[in-house]
Amino acid sequence: MGGTTPWTTADIPDLRGRTAVVTGASAGLGLETARLLAERGAEVILACRSTERAAAAAAAIRQAVPAAQLPILRLDLASQRSVREAADRLHARYEHLDLLINNAGTLARARSVTADGFETVLATNHLGPFAFTGLILSLLMAAPDGRVVTVGSGTSGYRTTKLDLDDLHYERRAYRALRVYGQSKLANLLFAFELQRRLNDIDTRLVAVAAYPGVAHTDFSRNLSPALRRVLTAPLLDKLLRPFVQSAEMGALPTLRAATDPAVRGGEYFGPAGRVTGYPVLSGAGEQAHDLTLAAGLWEASERLTGVVFDFDPTARN
């Protein structure tokens, strides 16, 4: 896997007969991921909060892949009720799922709380994906070679990124958007690596891996403040930053490699060769992401908050 030839879309294998779930597939990196999976023949379930946007995404994909199978699944990761309803629909329709890509994410300028009482960014980026993965775990374990890919972010490795198990919902700390987002993305990596450690203890071919896109040109900046958006899109700064920003397709490549490369092993982490841009290579996630005590504490807190307890018996379902 460490050769000098870059891994590109040409390396995505034939995926006919495989079924993938991509969360947040209606735009940006999720849309590119879904499109490229569909181009290789996978049935791609577009798991999105807005079914209207998902339908538009499906139409866009079918322009390039007319025969694409693109069922739409309504999934609002900020709502535990929606997460459970979506999982129930998958259980009713499928006997197994080959791939889950936990891609959806958000960033908020100000603190808000969901109907479940969770801070919204943590709920959307970690607690929702955690519960959704647990609720469809038996379907993933039933696949011949299932994978769970969790999409992280370079912000998880910042020195200012801290995950405080006693203040997960930012009730006592000053709410700073990028730090809150960074905490949620660190939680993503802790979850992915802890999931693999638990899978190592049982007889299963399911693996958990992680990826991060670097800096890609998507509509994610809509979550930033208007002032910061104006600064980042100013013509001069845009020109200066262009060498450090890659296309959405390039940003999706680490996820696609983690999802489809036959040589991938559980617990690996992929990102751009140049850290912010470039073709996908094995990457390091930083010490905090591999903190066993922190991972175990987060797992326990996530099960307690969501009420979803992972059952690693392949014949069971939540």
Angle at 100 between CA 90 and CA 20, to 5 degrees: 70
**Phi, psi for residue 169 in degrees, rounded to 5:** -95, 15
- From the candidates 94, 158, 175, 181, give the one annotated as an active-site residue: 181
Residue with tokens 């892949």: 65
CA distance 5 to 187: 32
CA distance 285 to 156: 8
- Does 212 participate in catalysis according to the annotation? no
Structure tokens at 230: 């104006």
Give the CA distances from residue 260 to residues 158, 304, 305, 317, in Å, rounded to whole numbers and listed in that order. Answer: 28, 32, 32, 26
Specify whether the CB–CB gap between 255 and 213 falls below 8 A.
yes
Structure tokens at 232: 């980042």
Which active-site residues does the annotation give? 181
